[in-house]
Chain A
Amino acid sequence: MVTLAGPEGVIRVSSCDQAGPLLNILGYRLREGCGKDAALETADPESAFLTIDSGFPLAELEQTLQGGHPFACHFAPTPVPLLFSPDDWTHAGTKGSQNKGNDVLDSLLDDPALARLYWAMARMDTETSASLRQFAGIPRLLPFAPVLDFYGSHISIRNGRMVVPGGAAAESAWKALAEADPESPKEFVARLLAKDDGWLAAYFDTLSRLTPAQQVYFTEAHRLPRFYEALRGKDIGDGPARPVFRPDPDLLLLVTRLELDSSGQPMVPGNLEVWEQILRQKSDSKVVRQWAKRANHWKNPDQLVEALFAFSRQSTEDGPLQIYLMLSAIDGARPPERRLSPQTVRLLAQKFARFGNQYLTFSEFEALNDDSITRFLEVAEVIDRISNVTLRANALGIFQANVGLWQVLARQGQIPAAKVNTSWQAVIGPFAAGSPSSAQLFDSAQASVGELWRAAAGRPNLSQDEVVALLAGPSQSNPDGQRVRQELADRIRSVMDGQRLVSLDTLLALGDGLNELAQGKDVGNTLISLAGQLKEFEMPRPMFTSSERSEWAAGFYNTRHSSLQTRTDLAKIIKSPRSKKELVEARGLVVPFLRDTLVGLNYAYYEPPGAQILLNNPLFVRSHDFSGEMAMGGGQSWHVPHVFGSGLPAGGGAHLAGSLADLPFVLAEAEQDFIVPENVQALIWHELVPGLVSSATLPRWWGVTRNELHAVTLYQRTGEELLTAAAQDEKLRQTVLDILSERMAPQRSEQVGKALRAGAVQEALSRALPGETFYLAAEFRQRFPGQDGHWGKAGEELDALSKEYPAEVSWKRLSDDFGVPHPALAQSYSRELLKVKPFPAFMGYSSRLLAESWDSNNLYWARLADELGYSPAMLNRLVPELTYHMVEKIFATDFEDWPAMLRAMRETGDEFRSGKITTVPKVAVTTSVQ
């Protein structure tokens, strides 16, 4: 092909009869000769496969063969930047001399270790990578390729010195720990990479990702070695770079989320005595048992943190570290006067293994007091004690659904803050007595929803339409808000229709009517009509026989819940009841329907954009396995649900097994493969997309003011103005880079710095995320108040807006409204703008933490909305849709490819600006900032 392309690098075919040599190479031949019907067919399948797989424009060639335009295909080599010289790579592989004579690509393809080293060094800043090459050379670095790959991106050498976490003040501590002086990077890096099979490098990398303020605590001379020794333990075991992925992220989560009190001490939920007891809880871990013995001598919180470092190497979901992270999230959100009591901390820790996933509610709603938390756990245990499996599953579903609806209404502010505890206890209270029968469960459910509606709407009886309207959002006074709210309500109703769920009105009326009938009232005819609605649901037309299902989907196809519903004949009982008792108990027959409707409202509320299962698989909600018994391992009733049964044609479709915790993420996970990527086989990683989507579907924007929306724009623009000014001002440049380096890895920080020094402002701006420019402006304004000479109109406008509306423009308010939820990273569904760098991929999490550390989307969409004149209420529609379009465009190449996310986000923004995204109304409401 190179020969055919010739010196100009273009393969040309002007007519059909010239195509022979090219076709021969491509593995194709003409089927029936030249002419207008000329067509290609495969001659050599292997060559043809390569032709297709490489993206060769075969269809265009075919057109030329049919007499179309001459064919021209550029086939010139594409220069790519190479790290160092070709010799560095062709002479360095583990295969030694075998690589010699190969070109660089061959060398990398032939030697995975060499490729991994190249990949690692390509993510370092240039001074650091050049220094490493000079110190050791590629061959000597090769054994450390895995360590450099996982933990090398924050190794930074500046002006011949190692940059260490904690800065100059911590250099001596690092010197002692690494047994090498940071002033001598060659020795320091060598020790860092080699010591303890990579554990020191992991420790260094983890602390490097913190802000300077956070680093101060961990790098104090007395703490740095202690914490490291705890992490390292007596048995270093396998190094952290040996697995395919980085080990569990608990170490990074611990240091990222550890909160210090006003005296600089780590916060301890409860007190140290409680944690001693928590460690003494039964544990399979030898490490935990060992630390438990030492705990009774603890005098200060550092000792607890030290133990937590040790636990960070335990691969578990419910160990002391996981408990600490969760309880810290709950406690940290509370004001000092309302911290969790030691008793509550102990209780939460004791129940963590079973109910821990439910605690996300407590971290999100800090107003829930100890009593409310305790009551929840008591009720949950009462439900757990229901012995009848079917009854228990229905109780679990209804209880969790009602709690889920309470969360929605409390989050949207429809349950007033003052009523948070009373409403919570009123909603969960009816289940406290247990449910010996389905009829009593019906009564509990009815009482519970009545309390829920009362708390949110002031009365206990709401129609389903009113409930849907309530869930869609608070009442709106302006036409834009009213329209959007109506659209959201319609979407909820679409899902309820798609799932063919019986109306809440019908179900509750049936319950009331059966009671009245039992009391001798003449309501039979009305009830028969209502009961008929229960019969309207039909199972999908079966495509498999029972025996086929048993053979092809054994253990997966279970429609017992749905099938029971189709066999329910309430009308028969109403027409000819055998006793008054039978009528009273007939309410129990309504319970499975009631469960599905209430659960369906939860599903519908969190419907991801582009959802298909919710609209087309009427068994999806009904099949939710609350017993958790179908899922492997069982006992999932209170855990985050798993998507179960995908890829089994005879299995009746996928469904969720577990609780309703983390529902926004799990629904997005189930629906994500219905998003159609724009690029063929684009890599959209399974944990990334649900994270992005749930960050767009969970937040609602009803409380956002125009001033807030505009402030989001102004912060980003002010950050851009600061970057622009920094190109001309060296002192400012250093300040700007110092701030940005708290959000950027050294390589990107260096790239931005170089661009600014070269006056390439646009390049520098293109490398900064919206979240970073926002952060830059906010931090600069906070650290250097009064230094307003560096920004332009946006900064001035922001100053003015801030003076007039300080609350609306504050970081706290904008963080609450435009941040994203962090259920995995910060154990809370509260929205927050976290001051973190993009997280890397971890085993068990893949890119989920990356998605949660990505807070640029909502800020960027808000800016677009503001600049195009949309009202804040429109964010309720724009954010999910724009996120959906962004996901379609993500064309990533690796787990941590956040630049691909940035590209996709900006492309979406460009298309939105140019009106190419037509599903969003073009007519914007233009309102000036008040």
Chain B
Amino acid sequence: MAKRFLFFLLFVVVVLCGSINRAPAQETETETKIRVEVDMVQLNVAVMDRKGNYVTGLRPSDFVVTEDGIAQKVATFGEGNEATRRVTSNGPDREHPGDRMRLQHGSADSDTSSELGSELGSMMAGANVFILFDTSNYMYRGFVFAQDAIAEFVRSLDGPDRVAFYSYSRDLSRGATLTADRSQVLHGVRTTVAGDDAALYNALLMTVRDAGQNTGRKVIVVFSNGPDNASMVPPEDVAELAQSKGIPIYMISTREAKLEPVSSTVFKRMSAATGGEAYFAKTWKQQQKAFASIRNDLAHLYSLSYYPQANPNRGWRSITVKLVGDRAKGCRVRTRNGYRPQSTRVSAETVTPASGVDSAQGPPSSN
């Protein structure tokens, strides 16, 4: 999304005494705030062939990205869990995989910029996976099986992914904030209890907001029976926020679609609008299959970003991603279909008094 993004990078300028010796840090460190504004749109793109197999090995030049019909230049590129790389005119620097994305704007000196870029690049590797689990009255039946399925999903997420586990009924519960420690997440899963009304879209909104405060790729996986009888916000608001934050939403419904047409409609459309997928998995096996599909998707998503070309449109901006070249034939591309730029004030502030997000997770991301 093209959210205007404020990085408040706090770092220490070490004043050197003479040319060799560093003065004691406590005496010489001064704090300097450097504000770097980044307007960057990040896309998670799945590419599949006619048979539904993931197409791998594509290069930045294989993609054509337009925003409101205006061609965009891909700034960073990555595939699956590999680190995102800066795209030069010659394509991503494959000869130097360690040379990760660098911040292009701001007034940081080059050395500092390199360090920051390296740090940010490492954070871009892997995904931040937010799981949202329905623990409302609608989930009594099959509740323990659902827990098993989620636990299995968490265990199967390998690599550098970080996971947060939330559950909801009338209220949201942050069972485990974003962490690489799977045992913390499993503890969160196994301590959920069932009961109360269902406010799925309230909870999903909060989850999107939390996820949006993190750097790197992030996805939300919703495991829900579907019905919502208590939300104050409509699904449209959630979808727009997720689109603005560049967060695909994967939705697994444990109920047959025909039983709850409202929810099944939302699940399909919200996931499609954000670049995720919807699954209708009534049985335990179908649920496991859905989780496996999501896992597979995460491992094969291309991560592209661009800095939008001048565009006077302050409202909804549509995004299209197409493939060019021989490999494009018959391929299907899935990503979010647009975003609405948010005002700086709304996007940058509004951290709720207790967002539940670990403050050590770094600055908010640009998308």
Contact = CB atoms under 8 A, between A and B. Distances in A.
Contact of A653 (B187, B191, B237): B237
B55 interface: no
20 contacts: A27-B144, A37-B155, A40-B151, A42-B147, A45-B145, A53-B193, A59-B183, A59-B186, A497-B345, A541-B273, A609-B352, A616-B233, A647-B197, A653-B233, A653-B234, A677-B173, A681-B169, A681-B171, A681-B173, A881-B353
Contacts of B266: 543, 649
B345 A490 contact: yes
Given A494-B346, A543-B266, A616-B241, A670 B232 contact: yes
A671 B353 CA distance: 14
Interface stretch (B89-97, B115-123, B200-208, B322-330): B200-208
A45 B234 contact: no
A84 interface: no
Contacts of A673: 170-171, 199, 202, 230, 232
Interface in B185-201: 186-187, 189-197, 199, 201
Interface residues of B, number: 72
Interface in A672-727: 673-677, 680-682, 684
Interface in B229-244: 229-237, 239-241
A216 interface: no
B228 A647 contact: yes
Given A39-B155, A680-B192, A543 B183 contact: no
Nearest to B269: A543
A909 interface: no
B111 interface: no
Interface of A: 27, 37, 39-42, 45, 48-49, 52-53, 55, 57-60, 62-63, 490-491, 493-494, 497-498, 536, 538, 540-544, 548, 552, 609-610, 612-613, 615-618, 643, 646-647, 649-654, 670-671, 673-677, 680-682, 684, 881, 884-885, 888, 917-919
Contact of A681 (B151, B193, B240): B193
B316 A541 contact: yes
B234 A885 contact: no
B345 A39 contact: no
A287 B162 CA distance: 68
Specify which of A37, A45, A538, A646 lies most central, judged by the most chain B CB atoms within 10 Å of its CB: A646
A653 B230 CA distance: 10
Given A45-B142, A680-B191, A919-B354, 8 more contacts: A39-B152, A53-B194, A540-B237, A541-B239, A609-B352, A617-B234, A646-B232, A653-B232
Nearest to A37: B155
A609 B353 contact: yes
Contacts of B196: 681
Contacts of A53: 193-194
B234 A649 contact: yes
B234 A494 contact: no
Contact of A548 (B144, B229, B236, B265): B265
A646 B169 contact: no
Contacts of A613: 232-233
A674 B206 contact: yes
Nearest to B232: A654
A455 B353 CA distance: 35
Contact of A676 (B142, B189, B206): B206
Contacts of A27: 144
A612 B233 contact: yes
Interface in B96-132: none
B230 A647 contact: yes
A676 B173 contact: yes
Contacts of A62: 186, 190
Interface of B: 135, 142-145, 147-148, 151-152, 155, 167, 169-174, 183, 186-187, 189-197, 199, 201-202, 205-206, 209, 228-237, 239-241, 261-263, 265-266, 269-270, 273, 314-316, 338, 340, 343, 345-346, 349-354, 356, 359
A74 B363 CA distance: 42
Specify which of A491, A544, A684 lies most central, judged by the most chain B CB atoms within 10 Å of its CB: A544
Contacts of A49: 143-144, 194
A670 B232 CA distance: 7
Contacts of B351: 919
Contacts of A674: 172, 202, 206, 232, 352
Given A494-B349, A543-B269, A42 B236 contact: no
Nearest to A48: B144
Contacts of B263: 649
Specify which of A62, A609, A670 lies most central, judged by the most chain B CB atoms within 10 Å of its CB: A62
Given A39-B155, A59-B186, A612-B206, A652 B234 contact: yes
Contacts of A919: 351, 353-354
What are the 10 closest A-B residue pairs judged by CB atoms, nearest first?
A647-B229, A653-B234, A48-B144, A59-B187, A540-B236, A59-B190, A654-B232, A497-B343, A58-B190, A610-B352
B171 A649 contact: no
B346 A498 contact: yes
Contacts of B314: 536
Contacts of A548: 265
Contact of B191 (A55, A491, A616, A684): A55
B236 A543 contact: yes
A676 B233 contact: no
A54 to B, nearest CB: 9
Nearest to B169: A681
Contacts of B201: 649
B348 to A, nearest CB: 9
A494 B345 contact: yes
Given A646-B231, A677-B173, A39 B151 contact: yes
A615 B350 contact: yes
A615 B346 contact: yes
A785 B191 CA distance: 57
A670 B269 CA distance: 26
A59 B189 contact: yes
Nearest to B230: A647
Nearest to A884: B353
Given A59-B187, A676-B173, A681-B169, A541 B236 contact: yes
A799 B261 CA distance: 70
B306 to A, nearest CB: 21
Contacts of B135: 681
Contacts of B234: 540, 543, 617, 649-653
Specify which of B171, B173, B315 lies most central, judged by the most chain A CB atoms within 10 Å of its CB: B171
B10 to A, nearest CB: 15
A649 B231 CA distance: 8
Contacts of B261: 552
A609 B355 CA distance: 12
A612 B151 contact: no
A49 B205 CA distance: 29
B240 A540 contact: yes
B180 to A, nearest CB: 16
Contacts of A885: 353-354
A540 B187 CA distance: 38
Contacts of A884: 353-354
Contacts of B171: 673, 675-677, 681-682, 684
A63 B241 CA distance: 37
Contacts of B151: 39-40
Nearest to B146: A42
A540 B240 CA distance: 8
B313 to A, nearest CB: 10
B212 to A, nearest CB: 12
A52 B144 contact: yes
A610 B193 contact: no
B86 to A, nearest CB: 32
Contacts of A670: 232
B294 to A, nearest CB: 19
A681 B346 contact: no
A542 B265 CA distance: 12
A50 B104 CA distance: 55
Specify which of A63, A616, A671 lies most central, judged by the most chain B CB atoms within 10 Å of its CB: A616
